[in-house]
Chains A and B, each alone.
Chain A
Amino acid sequence: MMTGTPAHAVQSQPPGEEETWELRLYVAGQTPKSITAFQNLKKICEEHLAGRYRIEVIDLMEHPQLAAGDQIIAIPTLVRKLPSPLRKIVGDLRNTERALVGLNLRPTEPSQ
């Protein structure tokens, strides 16, 4: 983790150029929470990962069998598939600061 892996590189220099972020947003139907979450996610990605991200929205109402794969319990859940390690952010991403920390788009410690 502490070696120069791509993930680490992203962590140290926020708007990195190395790879495409693969994000998966799990929702259950077009609920207000799902819509809010998608909108918030879109905004964060545009601001921090412009052109380097791909969002896949999975509606569990339609594909309930997919819930098990990523161990989805809460809705909405954002899963960062890439870069690894896998991260999960639960909620409608209303709190952007926390979302950024969760996505490792903002260093948690100032020293880094």
Chain B
Amino acid sequence: MPKTVNGKNGRSLPKAPTGIQGLDEITGGGLPRGRASLFCGSAGCGKTLFSMEFLVRGAMQYDEPGLFVAFEETPEELTQNVRSLGFDLNRLVAEKKLLVDFVRVERSEIEETGDYDLEGLFIRLGHAIDSIGAKRVVLDTIETLFSGLSNLAILRAELRRLFRWLKDKGVTAIITAERGDGTLTRHGLEEYVSDCVILLDHRVIDEVSTRRLRVVKYRGSTHGTNEYPFLIDGDGISVLPITSVGLQHVASNERIPSGIPRLDAMLGNEGYYRGSTALVSGTAGSGKSSIAAHFAHASCQRGERCLYLAFEESPSQIVRNMRSIGVDLEPWVRKGLLRFHATRASMYGLEMHLATFHKLVQEFQPRVFIIDPINNLAFASNRKDTSAMLTRLIDFLKMQGITALMTSMTSPESQETSDADISSLVDTWLLLRDIELSGERNRAMYVLKSRGMAHSNQIREFLLTDRGIDLTDVYLGAEGVLTGSARLSQEAREREEDLRRQQLLDGKQRELARKTEALEARITALRKEFEAEAEEARRVIGEEKAREEITRRNRERMGASRRADAGIDAGERPARPRTVQEGRR
């Protein structure tokens, strides 16, 4: 398969845009101009619709009239069939922008004898092309010729001539063909039409049908090589080439709050990054939707549009339920800031969902995108598909700078593993856990990862109050993490303990004070006693001193009198022993 990279200087292969959403992106601008492209696939894969849309868009958007050569359906049938895609063939035919030519090949009417060629078909085509100046031609399905004519040698030679002739005519053509057994087409048309081959496929896996498209070959041009899902709805065909988007998106430094202040604190104090993808996973009833509702509420408060995809509840049910936790979403819905899109995930295949998301995003231009929950999408298909689809969706949202929040329900056994497929895609992963302890179940939350920010590693208890979500610290003790009433009772126990200790302390303090007081009292008493004794002592000392003085004075007086009067002195002497005798008695 040649994959020449064309220069950007306009010398690349000229292309005719199909106008089909997504197909031009995959093919790098459309189908090879002036050449024939082969659309092959099994019955009912959408070949006819693809080619018809190619013509209709060509006529309406690129001013290139188109010729549809129908080998299988009459113009009336075709007109009716494509009306469901919103195409009005009659109007285009009346404006001479489109011509539908029905070529009927009925084997039973035809007998072959001798040599012939398909000049009749050439003339018809040439006439039809010239009559409206067609620039685009569709042959649907030229293989019918194989069932109408039996001379294969002539047929093959003529087909080769036909495709060359189409090229010479300068028309951009689509040839459709049924898929063969093990080959691209039943009659090997890919041998003749080999500039561009596109394979369409319609698979039913688990009762859900999925249409896919793959560019098998594109000579002289690069192209996306994957299988791209496409869908057919009221606006025509859309191919979803999101995997080709790559990882080129610009990361924003802007932060937007989660709507829960305490959660913002856990996320580096500022909340999510704009354009990032957050996943909230947890078991049933762990409060995922409430986190989503807070986020929606916060974004609407900032005046940013929010798209809320609900796969479990109806919008009115969500509004009612969220009102019970103090988040009133209804005003935002009325203001047109919040749009709900509620469907059952099993309604369509993944591709249809993805296409719907695309369409909604393009229509509503939200800044915030919520899916609640993504699991239901997973039920719609197998895990690999879901993961691929989410990759595409997340890439798409990142390209648009839309902040996404997805919730995911996990089973209690595998709280962290079951989302492993998508965890690598998300930037912030909040995990809600149920903690069952002492006969009750409580919610706890922590940030499992959050790219590019210093996030908290703490487990917080997650409370749903009538004023919204409240995150509180959990009790961490010897018994592990305690939540709910266990935490409350533990806290009560602690308070009691504190009180008791306080009382004890108070008692001690009072005792001390009392003792101090007692001591003081005793000290005072002792001092008083001492003072009293000291006073007494001083008095006694004073008295003694006074007596001594008197005694001394008496003696002096006596002595003086003896010296002065000897007679008196002699007569007086016996008086003294008498005194002593008296003391003995």
Contact = CB atoms under 8 A, between A and B. Distances in A.
Given A64-B127, A67-B124, A73 B105 contact: yes
Given A64-B126, A64-B127, A67-B127, A73 B120 contact: yes
Contacts of B111: 87-90, 98-99, 101-102
B104 interface: yes
B115 A94 contact: yes
Interface in B92-120: 101, 103-106, 109-120
Among B115, B117, B119, B148, the most chain A Cβ lie within 10 Å of the Cβ of B119
A90 B110 contact: yes
Given A37-B114, A102-B111, A71 B103 contact: yes
Interface in B47-106: 101, 103-106
Report the 10 A-B pairs with minimum CB-CB distance, sorted nearest first: A102-B111, A94-B114, A64-B127, A91-B114, A92-B114, A75-B119, A72-B120, A98-B113, A28-B119, A91-B113
A28 B115 contact: no
B123 A77 contact: no
A86 B124 CA distance: 21
Given A36-B115, A67-B123, A91-B115, 15 more contacts: A28-B119, A33-B115, A33-B117, A61-B123, A71-B105, A72-B120, A73-B103, A73-B118, A74-B149, A75-B117, A86-B109, A87-B111, A89-B113, A98-B112, A98-B113
Contact of A77 (B101, B106, B120): B120
Among A75, A93, A95, A98, the most chain B Cβ lie within 10 Å of the Cβ of A75
A75 B105 CA distance: 14
B101 A87 contact: no
B109 A68 contact: no
Interface of A: 26, 28, 33, 36-37, 40, 60-61, 64-65, 67-68, 71-77, 86-95, 98-99, 101-102
A3 B200 CA distance: 49
B552 to A, nearest CB: 175
Contacts of B113: 89-95, 98-99, 102
Interface of B: 101, 103-106, 109-121, 123-124, 126-127, 145, 148-149
Contacts of B116: 33, 74-77, 90-92
Contacts of B109: 86-88
B187 to A, nearest CB: 16
A93 to B, nearest CB: 5
Nearest to A33: B115
A39 B109 CA distance: 23
A73 B114 CA distance: 15
B112 A64 contact: no
A93 B452 CA distance: 82
Among B109, B113, B115, B148, the most chain A Cβ lie within 10 Å of the Cβ of B113
18 contacts: A36-B114, A60-B119, A64-B124, A67-B127, A68-B101, A71-B103, A71-B106, A73-B121, A73-B145, A73-B148, A74-B149, A88-B111, A90-B111, A91-B113, A91-B114, A92-B115, A94-B113, A101-B111
Nearest to B131: A65
A99 B115 CA distance: 12
B118 A75 contact: yes
B504 to A, nearest CB: 111
B123 A60 contact: yes
Nearest to B122: A28
A10 to B, nearest CB: 16
Contacts of B145: 73
A52 to B, nearest CB: 20
Nearest to A34: B119
Contact of A91 (B112, B119, B148): B112
A87 B560 CA distance: 198
B110 to A, nearest CB: 5
A98 to B, nearest CB: 4
Contacts of A87: 109, 111
Contacts of B118: 73-75
A74 B120 CA distance: 5
A22 B112 CA distance: 19
Contact of A72 (B101, B124, B148): B124
B145 to A, nearest CB: 7
Among A28, A64, A76, the most chain B Cβ lie within 10 Å of the Cβ of A64
A101 to B, nearest CB: 7
A1 to B, nearest CB: 13
A67 B124 CA distance: 6
Contacts of A72: 120, 124
B124 A68 contact: yes
A95 B123 contact: no
Nearest to A70: B120
Contacts of A99: 111, 113
Contacts of A60: 119-120, 123
Contacts of A71: 103-106
Contacts of A68: 101, 124
Contacts of B149: 73-74, 90
Nearest to A89: B111
Contact of B120 (A28, A93, A101, A102): A28
Contacts of B112: 89-91, 98
Contacts of A92: 113-116
B115 A26 contact: no
B19 to A, nearest CB: 28
B120 A88 contact: no
Contacts of B123: 28, 60-61, 64, 67, 75
Nearest to B117: A75
B115 A74 contact: no
Contacts of B117: 33, 74-75
A18 B148 CA distance: 32
A26 to B, nearest CB: 6
B120 A67 contact: yes
A93 B115 CA distance: 8
A75 B111 CA distance: 13
Contacts of A64: 123-124, 126-127
